[in-house]
Structure 1
Amino acid sequence: MVYDVGVERVVRVLQVGRRYLTWVQNSVLEGELSPAQLARLKVELAKVIEPTDAVRLYLFSNREALRVETLGFSKGEPGQFL
């Protein structure tokens, strides 16, 4: 999940995201969610964001579809990430 929201909502969006995902960089969270968890995350985010905000969720159908490369400092390594 990546987000670009108004400064007054940044903390709240991060708090919602961290209930489900691992914070890895500013405005970036990663992790594996069940379909039910994903649905709850979307509902919670919809209550926090405004029409001018942007939240992107990247969904991968399987482990082989994902490849992550990090250059430089890594804030966190999500243990539950596929």
Structure 2
Amino acid sequence: MSQTSAEILETAKGFSREERAELALGLLATLGEHDVSEPARLEALRSAVDQGISGLNAGQGVDVTPGGVRDYLRARGRIATERADTKTA
């Protein structure tokens, strides 16, 4: 018989502050993990690379000077952040 999350929480409340912090960090770390197998992840990566190469071959690449890579990536990061903020708003 497995415990419910409420039962687990009640048990964890009896832990020391350090134990609760360690448990919380461990649980938070699992939120970033994906339930996708390595072969599936590799296939998705290969597919994305193939799409990128096809785009480059079709002339859809972006010219970035070696000195401008940092600025380009920062701009892309801002765009991604704005899109994420819009989705969560």
Shorter-chain TM-score tier: under 0.3
**Structure whose alpha-carbon radius of gyration is higher:** 2
**More helix by percentage:** 2
**More strand by percentage:** 1
Higher RCO (CA 8 Å, separation ≥ 6 residues): 1
- TM-score calculated relative to the size of structure 1: 0.27
- TM-score calculated relative to the size of structure 2: 0.25
